[in-house]
Each structure stands twice: as C-alpha cells, then as structure tokens.
A and B are shown apart, each in its own frame.
Chain A
Amino acid sequence: MGRYVLRRLLQMVPVLLGTTFLIYVMVWAVPGDPFAGKCGERACPDAYITEMRERFNLDDPVIVQYGKYMLNLLSGDFGETSSGVQVIDRIADTFPVTLRLALVALVIEAVIGITAGIVSGLRNRGFLDSLVLVSTLFLISIPVFVTGSVIQLVFGIQWGVIPPTVSSKATFGELIVPGFVLASLSMAYVARLTRSSIAENRRADYVRTALAKGLPQRRVVGVHLLRNSLIPVITFLGTDLGSFLGGAIVTEGIFNVPGVGGLIFRSIQTKEGALVTGLVTLLVLAYLVMTLLVDLLYAVLDPRIRYE
C-alpha cells in the first residue's frame, strides 16, 4: 500500500509538468497584446512595457520562460499579476470560497442523490421509482445556467426568500442555494447510479443469506445491501468533489460567488498568464490528489481490491 501511494505520487510529477507546460504555452500563445488596455484609454508608455517585459521575462524563448516560472514555483513563488498583486494572495482569497461551495454541493448531492436512489432502487417500478426517474431525467436535460437563473429569479427575486446573490464573505448559509444548483446535475447521476446499484444487488445471494440469518430488514438493507451498493457511488462522489474544486464558472457567475471559477475566467480574459497558470496548476493538483484518495478509498471499501 505504501509503495503504491509513493508510485502514484511520483506519477503526479510528469502529469503536473505536462499540464503546467501546456497551460503556460497556451496562455502566452493567445493572440493579442498582453498590455492592451492595461493603461486605461492611452497606449502604455514604452518604459512601462520595457519594464514589464523585463519583469515577466517576455523576451526569453517560451521554454526558458517556463523554466524560470517552474523554478520560482518550486520555491513557493507563484509570481505576481501585471498590477503587482501576488498570485498566491488571489488564490488564498478565492480558493476557500470554492472549497466551501464544493463541500456544500457535495453534501447536497450525496444526501439527496443517495436517498432518492435508495428509495427508488428498493421499490422497482413503484410510484416513487418513476418519480425519481422522471425528475432526474429532467435535471439531466436542463443546462445549469437555466436551473440557476430560474432558481435565482423565483426564490431570490420574485419570492425574495433568499438573497439573489452571495456576499463577499460567501458563508456556508449563503452557499446552500448555489451549492444546490451546482450539485443538481451530479445529484441526478448519483440518484441513478445508486438506484441501479441497489436494484442489482437487491437480489444478490448474500442479501438472501442475510435474510436467512433472521436479521432485521433494516440491517439487511442498511448494512449488507448498502455497504456493497454504495461502493461505486462513493467513488463517483470523490471524483466529483475533485471537479467541483476546479470552480464552477456558470454557477459562480449567476450567484456572484467570489470563487476560483470566476477568477480563472476573468484572468483568461485579461491575459493574466501567471494567475491562470498558478490557478490551473493548483486545480490539477487538487484533482490528482482527489483521484488518488478515491482509489485508496476504493480499496478500503472493497477488501477484494488490493494494491501491492
């Protein structure tokens, strides 16, 4: 197990190098003048441009620029934006918000999705089963920006039960509705995954054995059936958390959540190369770690899986 983890960690190095390099190259390869609009209405003075070119090593070949960037990164220096703000500070401002939003979405997704899945999986073809199937199909078919905008309009503006946008503090309470919108699509998938997993395992031999042992129905379902059926669901939730951490541009945009998604979007528009690369590096890292955790969790949940 230890060796497996070490190997997986080492595998992350080339992945990380590859992704950062690609992002770096793509950011600088974007056509257009990086200093356009940086100095308001006027064109930037030559002195400013020269200084900036100097500061961001813009006269070096891309590969050398990348090398210098990575060396700085290794010493913990994420660089700074063209206006001189430390990239690491911008990340520290936004990442906790995204983390909170991701956790809220994950909890909503897991609780509602799994509950709906269990209920419908246990009663094959009943009213509740059909209800879950239809409503999840509905959620899957509607784009998030529609769900988000409609909820914002109805609950936030017409009924006024929630503030339509999130304050700059972005507390857990404020993030419940955005979290619900962010989770809606995955929630439908979780419900369906749980449903099919339960329905498949419901008639398994070990469930029959558990019944034959005279265990209470609650225990047969809650311990024997669930423990087996939730293995694929939990791994799905894990990878989903990984992608939530990458920020949610649409949801953040609708509810004005000051998170990572919006920041990436804005920094691509303003060609803040250092910010984009720094953010994406962090997100790739978060995703890789989540995937590793999911794989390790899988071995914990299913003893038949062993990593040598």
Chain B
Amino acid sequence: MSTVDKKAGGADPAPASAAPLLEVADLHVEFRTRDGVAKVLNGVSYHIQAGETLAVLGESGSGKSVTAQTVMGILDSPPAFVTGGSVRFRGEELLTASPERRRAVRGDNVAMIFQDALSALNPVFTVGFQIEEQLRVRRGVSRAEARKRAVELLDLVKIPNAKRRVREYPHEFSGGMRQRAMIAMSLALDPDVLIADEPTTALDVTVQAQIMDLLAEIQRDRHMGLVLITHDLGVVAEVADRIVVMYAGRIVEQADVRTLFREPGHPYTRALMESLPRLDLKGSTLTTIKGLPPNLLRIPSGCPFHPRCPMAAERCRTDLPAPVRLGPERTSACHFAEELISRG
C-alpha cells in the first residue's frame, strides 16, 4: 500500500508542531466471513483538530462507520479484524494500547453517538440512569450529584422539563428528543472528540435541522472536534469545515467544504453532487450514479470506482490511482484529478 503511505505522510500540510487531536492513518480492516474475506477498510487516513468539524461522506458499505468503530475500539471481533494502520489520539497510539487504556479513552476523550437512538439507548433504564452511569462509574460522582449533572446536560441539549424527563425511559421520548438525550449522554464526560454516526438519518427533516444546529452549537461552544459521518451532502454543506469522501474502504477525495462543492476533484464526488435534486433544474430527470456499490468480497481491480465511472479509461481498470495533491489539505485519488479541476 505505498499509495496510502504517501497520503498518510503528506496529509497534514501544517508543520508538525503539534500532533492532530485525532488521527487515523492507513487503516486496514477486514471482515472474515464464511463467504470469504471482505476488505472493508483499505488504507483510510484522516485527522481532526480541536474545534474542527470533519464530515465523512459515503454510501452504505463505504466503511465510514467501521472507521469510527475502529477508532472507538468497539468493532465486533470476530468477524472484524484490524490488519494494519494506526489510530492516534494526541499522538498516542491507540490500536496497540492496553484494553484498559482504550476503555479510558472511550467516552472520556472520544465519545460517539449513533444513528438510531431508540435501539442505541438501553430500553430498560431511564434516560437519567444512562447519563449518570458514566459519571458514577468513571468519575465516582455521588448519585445526587450525578442526577444534578444529568439534568444540566438535558437542559444543555434543550430538552424541556429536564427535571421530569430525566426519570423517563427512552421509549417515552420522541425521536428528536431521544437523539438529544443521546447527545447529552455523550457529553457527560466532556469529550475532546465526538463522533456522530449518521445522527440525523432516522429523523424527520425538520428535526434533522434542529439536531444538526444543536451539534454545531455544542461543537463551537466546547471547541470540540466533531467527526460527522453521513451520506447526506446537504447536512455536510452546512456544518462541516472539511470533508473526506469514502468509497469501498478508501478515501477518494478530501478537501475543505467550499472547494469540494465548487469544484469536486473526483468523478465519484462529482456524481454525488449531480445526483442532488436542484431547484434550478426543476422538471428535469434526476441524475443517478449507475451501478451498485462494489461487493467488498470482490473489489474491482484498479480504481474500485471504474465500473461506475463515466470517465473510466483503460488504466483505471489496472492501476489503483494514488491520491494526488491538489492543494493544501486537498487530495483526490483519481488518474484524472488534475484534468477534472482544470476543466472546472
């Protein structure tokens, strides 16, 4: 994987004065299933600084959630195995750290919220209990003090009537309120990085916007690093600083939000943008990306996107494109990256 090494080495253009808050480098994960070995991550690298929002964009199966779970150390193993790469928090390697150390980082330094809050919260415990639990178990806070903190946290995520609702069960909350409760829970130990795995996917559109605003506000106020995993370009545009686009367990493009939206440097990103409904093109047929996401048991040779790519040429079938640097903090893993952006 020399291509990925290059990217990992050159990902951070700033002088290496301080290690990034959280850094994933050349991560390889495979799922060993009865049908064979699925290469789920094939050299994923990204990093995030304090106060920054990084969006991880990709279709289902592109590896965005698996990357997050590897960072957290909560992969189901078996079937998942980390076969290479590193995850560093403030320069400290986590993949080789002791299970105790990894556990200490979880929730405290890096916290995570999940897509479907109804199934992600334990149905038989009150919302309050689930927030207080971390404070009591990990900080040794008294029951009464933890309850006070839980009410404050519910207030912080703008749940009305926090004093009463802290005693209620997850099923008594509405979808949006449940997601807020989960955000409150993730903030209990005041984490440095919050990974939000499709936090709005299970919600109504109006509620989605409220939750995104809340996340953005909390991220700003606490100067937290926010890793926002999503397949929704609209969500990304509003809150993210930088974007990495994933495809078949690889990062195909990374750029800051403005640049990415102005001139996508990878045919896949371009296709994603073209498949967005647009007001100024009302009445015309919506563009779709033809074909299916690749089967990870049999990833296509060369560039994994070539069977679906409108620009695919002969070399795309044989050569895996190395990430091309297109600017500071900007890469694209496409043989035609430079042509793409010069064409505009």
Contact = CB atoms under 8 A, between A and B. Distances in A.
Interface string A184-213: 000000000000000000011110111111
Contacts, number: 73
B3 to A, nearest CB: 32
B120 to A, nearest CB: 4
A76 interface: no
B163 to A, nearest CB: 19
Size class of the contact patch on chain B = 20 to 34
A214 B120 contact: no
Interface string B123-147: 1110000000110011000000000
Interface residues of A, number: 22
A219 interface: yes
Contact of A214 (B121, B125, B134): B134
B185 A213 contact: yes
A228 B124 contact: yes
Contacts of A215: 103, 107, 133-134, 137-138
B169 A304 contact: yes
A14 interface: no
B319 interface: no
Contacts of B112: 212
A31 interface: no
Given A303-B124, A304-B171, A214 B138 contact: yes
A206 B103 contact: no
A302 interface: yes
B114 A228 contact: no
B133 A206 contact: no
A133 to B, nearest CB: 19
Given A212-B112, A214-B138, A206 B185 contact: no
Contact of A206 (B123, B137, B189): B123
A227 to B, nearest CB: 5
Contacts of A206: 119-123
B185 A214 contact: no
A216 interface: yes
Contacts of A224: 122, 125
Name B's interface SS.
mixed
A16 interface: no
Q: B76, B105, B122: which has the most chain A beta carbons within 10 Å? A: B122
Nearest to B111: A212
A215 B133 CA distance: 9
Contacts of B125: 224, 227
Contacts of B124: 227-228, 231, 301-303
B119 A205 contact: yes
Contacts of A213: 106-107, 111, 133-134, 185
B120 A205 contact: yes
Q: A203, A209, A227, A304: which has the most chain B beta carbons within 10 Å? A: A209
A212 B107 contact: yes
B119 A214 contact: no
A214 B72 CA distance: 9
Interface string A88-110: 00000000000000000000000
Interface string B85-119: 00000000000000000011111100110101001
B74 interface: yes
B242 to A, nearest CB: 24
B74 A303 contact: no
Contacts of B104: 214
Contacts of A205: 114, 116, 119-120
Contacts of A214: 103-108, 134, 138, 189
A208 B169 CA distance: 18
B114 A208 contact: yes
Given A208-B114, A215-B133, A304-B169, A228 B74 contact: no
A237 to B, nearest CB: 18
Interface in A216-240: 216, 219, 224, 227-228, 231
Nearest to B138: A214
Nearest to B168: A303
A216 B72 CA distance: 14
A219 B103 CA distance: 12
Nearest to B134: A213
B171 to A, nearest CB: 5
Given A208-B120, A224-B125, 19 more contacts: A203-B76, A205-B114, A205-B120, A206-B119, A206-B122, A209-B114, A209-B121, A209-B122, A209-B182, A210-B122, A213-B111, A213-B133, A214-B138, A214-B189, A219-B137, A228-B123, A303-B124, A303-B169, A304-B169
Interface of A: 203-206, 208-216, 219, 224, 227-228, 231, 301-304
30 contacts: A205-B116, A206-B119, A206-B121, A206-B122, A206-B123, A208-B114, A208-B120, A209-B114, A209-B121, A209-B122, A211-B106, A212-B106, A212-B114, A213-B106, A213-B111, A213-B133, A214-B103, A214-B138, A215-B103, A215-B107, A215-B133, A215-B134, A216-B137, A224-B122, A227-B124, A227-B125, A231-B124, A301-B124, A302-B124, A303-B171
